[in-house]
Structure 1
Amino acid sequence: MAEEINEEWLSQLSEADLKDLEAKPKSQAEKAWNRLVCFFPVLASLLHLLEYLYVPNHPGNANTYLYAGFIGIFLAYFLVRGIWAQVSDDQFRRWRRAAPFQSLIFILLMIYDLLTLKTATLLLPYFPWADKILNAMIADAAFLAESASASISLLFQGFIIGAVLGIVTGVFSGYNKKINYWISPFVTVIGSIPTTTWIPIVMVLAASLQKGAMFIIALGVFFSLHNATFSGVNQIDKAYYSVAKTLGASQRQLISSVTVPAMLPTVFSGLIQGMSTACTSLIVAEMMGVESGLGFYITWQKNWAEYDKMYAGIIVICVLFLAVHFILNWLSDRTLKWKED
């Protein structure tokens, strides 16, 4: 009787409830350990701050307190998150999962600081310490902002063109076999060639380097979106179309009310993959000829042996691309929230 009650009780639990049960500690020791892990980033950042302030620099290496302030900001943030995790179960689950990796980042930063600023194991100019990079980033902030703006503009122009063309051709190719007969061979042959391979040809034939770079970005995004959309349309159960036709749906309604909603999960997957391709193509294109953008900035600073500014440009690229991917994933989660139901 008890087993039947337990089975009935378990069957009524949602997926979130089951995850909560699974995540619950099985002992007081495990519970205390999980609470302690939430403060690991605080310990790691504090240790790094003490190392930066009190371990002597290698002779000839100078630093400022700017990086110490940077560490201090994160230390305060980690402390707030750790305390918040103690009073909120939702925040505890999130921060318990993120805390170990956040700690690792500051441990690696501390190791890098020891190898550069403190011991000069990694030498200038190729390996500037974090404080030097941060100061270079602030000193060249205007140029970095201008370069970032140019890169974002070029990235999204190419991305939008490629995404629209890829989705449109993917829908019609998946929906109509005659259209697919003509499009599929071109996509198969040209799509098998890495996008960056076309850069030398496109840069010669394009009306301007800017338009050539835009074409390269759009080309990479097009193949990702076409294949994802085509796959999404092909995976739609034919019974959906039959039911819609029985209810009197027109061809336009079949596409807008059946095809488009059903293919959205694979389209968003293609958008994320396409953005990765676009980011790679953007930087390569900028490094090979476009006289603006972060790729150009990095190449230019490298040629002048300004490696601290070069690393600053790389960091800005990482932050921008992570932000773009975060936004795409957020949009995907919001748009496809119905899948959880």
Structure 2
Amino acid sequence: MASIDIAPGAGTGAHPPGPIQRVTLLASLGWFAAVAILLFWQDLTFQPLVRELALVWGAVGGVLVVLGLGGNRLGRVGRWTAQRAPWLLAIGIGAAIWTVLTAKTGILPQPFFPTPQAMLEVFIYDWPKILHSTSFSVWLLAKGFFFGAVAGFLIGVGMGWSRAVSYWATPLLRYVGPLPATAWLPLAFFIFPSSGSASVFLIAFSTAFPVAVLTWSGIASVNRDYYEIARTLGASPLFLILRVAVPAALPHVFVGLFMGLSTSFAVLVVAEMLGVEAGLGWYLQWAQGWAAYANMYAALFVMAAMCSGLITLLFRIRDRVLVWQKGVVRW
């Protein structure tokens, strides 16, 4: 009786393994090229942690080799890598160019433009101070953003729902709201008992204005037919606000929250530079005072990562609350 060879996975509904990811493999070559430049091109001056940095970059390249060979067989990780492979390649090339322009040729003079080795040295030896400053900034931003978001939301709901509230609040919002929060720095540090509480007020002030305006716009733009239908079913005014107006206005509210988060982060850095004894803004000011440019760039890198992470978290919350809008705006 003749035998029949059946290919693996045939008839079982299984998909054949995906091909290798050539761009990911190319990205690994970019990182390996950066390692070669780091090790075999002589530095103009002594640089610390050269071998350690080469080990880190080589590990990144090795991981990319594994991911590139695994391809789509790695599931979600493989899809994530395939989507971001061009950026991974660009970052590897950027690391190589950074090394050449600073440590190898001096086109970007030191110490104004630190080398990658100097940046690694900052994160290795000064991480306790950076971690403390980051945690302080996150906590200060969280308090100010929370109070500002709550106040702005309540003001926006009141203005959108009540003509009386809108009559009295609109002039204040129109003339006081657009003023930059940093303009209130001298008055805030004079009125409030501590620099921390003054910073919380300034962050809350910068957050409240966009949240109030967008919430007001969202409440005012709700279709009036929704209210009429709910009233015919016996809905109370509180029900109309909480179950009709606010849910319909949530897309506008989240836009206001995104805008408030961006402005509050800028105010946070300025407030920490001027009056707070900790935080990333304080760390940046301290590094500038000592001409520690590598520490300054490290603080800027942490600030960017912190801001991006908080915005990503806010997007995740929005996708959970507004599941019907998921994927309309990406971050």
TM-score bin (small chain): 0.7 to 0.9
Q: Give the superposed CA RMSD.
A: 2.3
- Does the C-alpha gap of structure 1 residues 340 and 125 become closer, same or farther in structure 2, counting only changes over 3 Å? closer
Tell me what 2:10 maps to: none
239, 243, 246: which one aligns with 2:225: 239
Please state if 1:335 is matched with 2:321: yes
Please state if 1:100 is matched with 2:86: yes
Shift of the alpha carbon at 1:178?
1.4
- Does the C-alpha gap of structure 1 residues 147 and 91 become closer, same or farther in structure 2, counting only changes over 3 Å? closer
Letter of the 1:136 partner, please give it: V
Q: Secondary structure at the match of 2:176?
A: helix
Letter of the 2:214 partner, please give it: A
How many angstroms apart in 2 are the aligned matches of 1:115 and 1:210? 41
How many angstroms apart in 2 are the aligned matches of 1:73 and 1:333? 34
252, 257, 277: which one aligns with 1:271: 257
Identical columns (%): 33
Shift of the alpha carbon at 1:299?
0.5
Shift of the alpha carbon at 1:288?
1.5
107, 113, 132: which one aligns with 1:121: 107
Q: Does the CA-based 8 Å contact 2:39-2:50 persist in structure 1?
A: no
Shift of the alpha carbon at 1:56?
1.7
How many angstroms apart in 2 are the aligned matches of 1:263 and 1:254? 12
Shift of the alpha carbon at 1:61?
4.1
Matches within 5 A, 1:179-198: 179-198=165-184
Q: How many residues align?
A: 310
Matches within 5 A, 1:244-263: 244-263=230-249
Q: Does the CA-based 8 Å contact 2:48-2:121 persist in structure 1?
A: no
Letter of the 2:110 partner, please give it: L
How many angstroms apart in 2 are the aligned matches of 1:340 and 1:143? 38
How many angstroms apart in 2 are the aligned matches of 1:327 and 1:78? 27
Matches within 5 A, 1:36-185: 36-87=22-73, 94-185=80-171
Shift of the alpha carbon at 1:35?
4.2
Shift of the alpha carbon at 1:265?
1.3
Letter of the 2:94 partner, please give it: L
Shift of the alpha carbon at 1:99?
2.0
- Does the C-alpha gap of structure 1 residues 340 and 56 become closer, same or farther in structure 2, counting only changes over 3 Å? closer
Tell me what 1:207 maps to: 193
216, 223, 226: which one aligns with 2:209: 223
Q: Secondary structure at the match of 2:103?
A: helix
Q: Does the CA-based 8 Å contact 2:133-2:279 persist in structure 1?
A: yes
Shift of the alpha carbon at 1:38?
3.8
Q: Does the CA-based 8 Å contact 2:44-2:104 persist in structure 1?
A: yes
Q: Secondary structure at the match of 1:65?
A: helix
* Deviation digits for residues 98-136 of structure 1 (CA, Å, limit 9, x no counterpart): 222232222222211111111122222211111111111
Tell me what 1:3 maps to: none
Shift of the alpha carbon at 1:94?
4.4
How many angstroms apart in 1 are the aligned matches of 2:224 and 2:100? 62
TM-score, with length taken from structure 2: 0.86
How many angstroms apart in 1 are the aligned matches of 2:153 and 2:303? 27
Q: Does the CA-based 8 Å contact 2:157-2:215 persist in structure 1?
A: yes
Q: Does the CA-based 8 Å contact 1:203-1:212 persist in structure 2?
A: yes
Shift of the alpha carbon at 1:205?
2.8
TM-score, with length taken from structure 1: 0.84
Flag structure 1 segments of 5+ consecutive residues without an equivalent: 1-30
How many angstroms apart in 2 are the aligned matches of 1:120 and 1:281? 35
* Deviation digits for residues 159-206 of structure 1 (CA, Å, limit 9, x no counterpart): 000000001111111111211111111111112222222223322332
Matches within 5 A, 1:277-296: 277-296=263-282
How many angstroms apart in 1 are the aligned matches of 2:89 and 2:151? 43
Q: Secondary structure at the match of 1:128?
A: coil
Letter of the 1:317 partner, please give it: M
Shift of the alpha carbon at 1:155?
0.5
Q: Does the CA-based 8 Å contact 1:84-1:91 persist in structure 2?
A: no
How many angstroms apart in 2 are the aligned matches of 1:269 and 1:234? 15
Q: Secondary structure at the match of 1:39?
A: helix
Task: Single out whichever of 96-105 and 169-178 deviates more from structure 2.
Answer: 96-105
